[in-house]
Amino acid sequence: MSVTRLAAAAAAGLMATALAATALAQEKTQKPPLHGSHWMAITGKPLAATAGARMFEQGGNAVDAACAMLAATSTMWDVLSWGGETQALIYNPETGRIIVINGLGVAPTGATAEFYRRKGLKYPPEHGPLAAVTPGTPGALLTMLAEYGRLSLAEVLAPSISLADGYAIEAETADRIEREKEHIKQWPYAKAVMLPHPGQAREAPQAGEIFRQPDLAATLRKLVEAEAQALAAGRSRKEAIMAAYERFYRGDIGEEFVRGLREQGGLVTREDLARWRVELEEPVHTNYRGIDVYKLDRWVQGPAMLQALNILENFDLRAMGYNSAQYIHTVYQAMSLAFADRDFYYGDPYFPPEEPIRGLLSKEYAKERAALVNPERNDPAIGPGDPYPHQGGVNPYLDLLKQRAAAVPAFDAARFAQATNSGDGSMRRGTTTVVAADKEGWLVSMTPSGGWLPAVIAGKTGIGVSQRAQSFVLDPAENPFNVIEPGKRPRATLTPSLAFKDGKPWLAFAVQGGDTQDQNLLQFFLNVVEFGMTPQQAVEAPNFNSWQLHDSFGMHEIYPGRLLLNNEVPDWTRRDLKARGYQPEYASRTSGPINAVLLDHANGTFWGASSNHGEDYGIAW
């Protein structure tokens, strides 16, 4: 019996929902759940999960394991490279605090709105050297390891150095290289690495072929060498790891990165690298029916999930029944309201103007937004609200809000058909996930991304550069908080999650998939909290996706009413949703691979979950 059919019984009311939850607890999943009592390591590739497991076997904690998995996925081009960006939530059991790792790169010198307009662009490009922001993943990894890990950099990077020397490449990445080869051929350093069979019908590696990255291996060895030299000079473990940080951002690695990128038309300077730094921050959070949910701040989309939870707290979702038409409609409307605010109010908090995050996350504002939900019809004209009164302020952008309200696009059937025929496009682009836990209480949720294929490789470093500049806007009328400026972070889609229950760490969860990330994480969370699913059932359960939000990539398109439904959704639900004004389409997989760890405090064990599609994988003990 499918998860959908089981949960449909919940529509009869609360008693039926309880019965469905009992049945769900007994249902087998396509992938077995992970169980462990000592540690758990889950990420986007089996070999990368093995790298994390090796750290635990060497005496490392969950941060060491997460750093090793991050390094391995970056080396394997698991929809990212070393020149991308890394964001993490880390629970430190020694202090009882959650730490935010902000490893998002910034726009380089010269990257102004006027610069891109002069090139005839409406947004920064989707790929190529002018899409690059400064690399953040190396700094984030080194900072996390130095501050919260216990192993050496040499130990943590050993699996990745071995992978860079050569590993049997998997079909997913090899085939993506082949699909993107015409782009890759534009950039000489990427071409040399990615296309080992020039002139042949297939120029990319074959699945199972040994894929070698000698320049990247040399770069990683330089980082380890910097650590060894610092240790030999009598410096502490932390100082030695940060010596590698110094070599990357202010030494010979950074020098070659800049030279190689600028040779190909990029803007990043030595000064841009030297000025950039990792920020250690506090998370934002909300409480949903007694459970505290933590996300990164408004420089990513994470608070949109918190806003959606605040709105949905005003509805009885359980009584609606899992994936009933009323449930899908209500959650869609809540997401539309939250993402409309995301599209207008989110941006880099280190740059003025200050985003109204307190108002956006207030329960009173959520009630105001929830009152806008029409229970019978989709509202294609949903726009951003005004959170300023809920934090004692006056909105300085009321004129821009009026402009946006007047410019809401009508549903364009031809454009919808074209986008549907071309697949998901950029809306579900990029990212991998890393989650890790250990018996000492360390808990990590991470969503690294950037430098995905096709990527420019910066000179002889072997490092693929980020394409994140495309998430900026050039016109303040679209989002006055996210207009590109040198030194500014783009509002990204990357969004790890932690949840606490009864004051204790309870759940770490993350997913890949661009703008669909917080949609899928919201539904995963509701699957567990409202419908009693186990983590593995929840990651396999059919999701739905909305396109009634501005794409964070490419041309920042929006498709009001567009709705991706799972093939399992029954005919009567499909008819109901069409009658409510939706334009549905269908697929067998309707979320990126979700990875999660749940802490079972009653038994002192972990429940791990990894979606039943993609190449994500977990190992536990």
pLDDT tens, position by position, 509-536 = 999 999 999 999 999 999 999 999 999 9
pLDDT at position 173 is 95
Do 462 and 582 belong to one domain? no
Do 525 and 559 belong to one domain? yes
Do 217 and 122 belong to one domain? yes
Residue 10 — very low, low, confident or very high, per pLDDT cuts 50/70/90? very low
Is 30 contained in some domain?
no
Is 136 contained in some domain?
yes
Q: What residues make up the domain containing 392?
A: 281-431+514-592+605-616
Do 140 and 225 belong to one domain? yes
Is 403 contained in some domain?
yes
pLDDT tens-place string over residues 430-470: 689 999 999 999 999 999 999 999 999 999 999 999 999 99
pLDDT tens-place string over residues 387-404: 999 999 999 999 999 887
Do 287 and 271 belong to one domain? no
Cα–Cα distance measured from residue 547 to residue 339, given in angstroms and rounded to the nearest whole number? 10
In percent, the amount of the chain with pLDDT more than 70 equals 92
Question: In 3D, which of 471, 541, 53 has the Cα closest to residue 299?
Answer: 471
Strands 279-281 and 97-103: antiparallel
How many helices (H) and strands (E) the chain has is answered by 24, 19
Per the CB < 8 A criterion, the answer to whether 471 and 536 are in contact is no
Cα–Cα distance measured from residue 43 to residue 39, given in angstroms and rounded to the nearest whole number? 14
pLDDT at position 403 is 83
Chain mean pLDDT for the chain: 93
Do 323 and 239 belong to one domain? no
Residue 410 — very low, low, confident or very high, per pLDDT cuts 50/70/90? low
Sequence-distant (6+) residues with CB within 8 A of 597 are 40, 42, 435, 436, 437, 443, 507, 508, 509, 535, 606, 607, 608, 609
Instruction: Provide mean pLDDT across the span 472-478.
Output: 95
Task: Supply the angle between the helices 302-312 and 325-345 in degrees, to the nearest 10.
Answer: 140
Per the CB < 8 A criterion, the answer to whether 466 and 84 are in contact is yes
Whether the pLDDT of residue 16 is over 90: the answer is no
Confirm whether pTM is higher than 0.85. yes
DSSP notation for 155-202: HHHHHHHHHHH-EE--HHHHHHHHHTHHHHTTSHHHHHHH-SSTTSS-
pLDDT at position 404 is 77
Q: How many domains does the chain fold into?
A: 2
Distances from the Cα of 429 to the Cα of 55, 497, 515, 551, angstroms: 30, 19, 8, 10
pLDDT at position 418 is 54
Distances from the Cα of 498 to the Cα of 79, 95, 250, 552, angstroms: 23, 16, 34, 23
Cβ-based neighbour number of residue 157 at 10 Å: 26
In percent, the amount of the chain with pLDDT more than 90 equals 89
Is 582 contained in some domain?
yes
Angle at 552 (CA atoms; ends 404, 276), nearest 5 degrees: 115
Is 325 contained in some domain?
yes
pLDDT at position 341 is 98
Is 499 contained in some domain?
no
pLDDT tens-place string over residues 146-162: 999 999 999 999 999 99
Residue with tokens 């979702």: 317
pLDDT tens-place string over residues 189-216: 999 999 999 999 999 999 999 999 999 9
Do 398 and 315 belong to one domain? yes
Is 3 contained in some domain?
no
Q: Report the sign of the C-alpha dihedral through residues 427, 430, 431, 432, in that order.
A: positive
Per the CB < 8 A criterion, the answer to whether 14 and 322 are in contact is no
Do 409 and 537 belong to one domain? yes
Is 600 contained in some domain?
no
Do 267 and 293 belong to one domain? no
Return phi, psi of residue 99, to 5°. -110, 135
pLDDT tens-place string over residues 530-563: 999 999 999 999 999 999 999 999 999 999 999 9
Do 295 and 208 belong to one domain? no
